[in-house]
Amino acid sequence: MTFATQLKEEIISNPIDKIESLTELSAFIRFSGNIKKNKITLTMENAAVARRIYKDIKSNFGINIKITVRNQKRFRVKQIYILEIHENIDNILETLNILKDGKKTLPSEFFIESREDKISFLKGAFLACGSINDPSSAGYHFEYTSSIKKEGIYLQQLLKEFNIISKVLKRNSHYMIYVKSAEMISELIRLFGANNCFFYFEDIRIYRDHKNMVNRLNNCEIANQEKILKTGLKQLDDIIYLKEHDLVGLLDENVQEAIRYRELYPEQSLSELAEIISQETGRQIGKSGINHYFIKVKKLVEKHKENNK
């Protein structure tokens, strides 16, 4: 079972009142229904979702619904559930705020007014046309699809009211409304009331964030070690040049002492080298002092090279 299926089944396992069921049903038929003058056809792959929609239609409108189950054999065998409504079409669509004066319109403010109404609409849309990646996969991704751009933008605006930022992208003949932020997807799952999926998602997200943080720290440590080694080797090259040209005696005793310790400890950082010199000589010196000494070494090398050109 995919994570998207788990989330949908947990959503429909939670009880809802009559108003929430109408709002949820409105979104489902709007985004999933094939609406014609004398028929509404709803096609689903999930048996639990099919039962929920059947129950909502039956309890709210008391009509007969034709149910057809078909086996689809493309790639793998799976069952498709088809609900057909032939009665009271106009009344259903107007009650669900899908049609007004015979034309399809966006939901009105009085129909989706409260916070609960908006969440129910988002849940119904997800049951109809939503999908979500398993958080343990390569990336975080939540999406709705809509065949009508203005309905996709309406979903985007509705998500924004809950501080969930999404983008709308045209994909073939449909529009994809998608969210990539792990924190926002997690919040959306929480709004859906799917606690089990929420905790699962959060566990995976926290684990991945911790793993990424450890990797970043390791990468920083490796980069830092490489930088220290590169600095030490460059200083050793300067020291070799000074000795080859008999220039070490031009430097004061403190710098010559730093040179001797660098030759003894070529892989130590400047801070570690300063600590070693302080402990072994009893003369306190810090990282900046050691760095100052090797700046003198570098300048002397550069000056000698310049004069010999």
Residues 162-210: tens digit of each pLDDT: 999 999 998 888 999 999 998 999 999 999 999 999 999 988 888 887 7
Summarize the confidence of residues 39-60 as an average pLDDT: 90
The mean-pLDDT minimum among 80-94, 147-161, 214-228, 275-289 falls in 214-228
Summarize the confidence of residues 198-223 as an average pLDDT: 80
- The residue with tokens 């004398």 is 38
- Contact present, 31 and 151 (Cβ < 8 Å): yes
In this prediction, residue 156 has a pLDDT band, given cuts at 50, 70 and 90, of very high
Q: Is the pLDDT of residue 309 over 80?
A: no
Residue 274's pLDDT is: 85
For strands 33-36 and 39-44, give the pairing: antiparallel
- Contact present, 285 and 271 (Cβ < 8 Å): no
Q: Who wins on pLDDT, 26 or 230?
A: 26
Summarize the confidence of residues 249-268 as an average pLDDT: 85
Residue 27's pLDDT is: 93
In this prediction, residue 74 has a pLDDT band, given cuts at 50, 70 and 90, of low
- Partner residues linked to 104 by β-bridges: 99
In this prediction, residue 42 has a pLDDT band, given cuts at 50, 70 and 90, of very high
Spatial CB neighbours of 283, under 8 Å, sequence gap ≥ 6: 277
> pTM for the complete prediction?
0.69
What integer best gives the mean pLDDT of the chain? Answer: 87
d(CA 300, CA 298): 5
What percent of the chain clears pLDDT 70, i.e. is strictly above it? 98
- Contact present, 7 and 197 (Cβ < 8 Å): yes
Q: Is the pLDDT of residue 40 over 80?
A: yes
Summarize the confidence of residues 25-30 as an average pLDDT: 93
Residue 76's pLDDT is: 65
Summarize the confidence of residues 285-300 as an average pLDDT: 87
Estimate the crossing angle of helix 115-129 against helix 149-160, to 10 degrees: 130
Residue 9's pLDDT is: 93
In this prediction, residue 225 has a pLDDT band, given cuts at 50, 70 and 90, of confident
In this prediction, residue 258 has a pLDDT band, given cuts at 50, 70 and 90, of confident
Q: Is 62 left (phi over 0), alpha (psi -120 to 50) or beta?
A: left
Residue 207's pLDDT is: 83
In this prediction, residue 75 has a pLDDT band, given cuts at 50, 70 and 90, of low
Residue 154's pLDDT is: 94
Summarize the confidence of residues 21-28 as an average pLDDT: 93
Summarize the confidence of residues 251-271 as an average pLDDT: 85
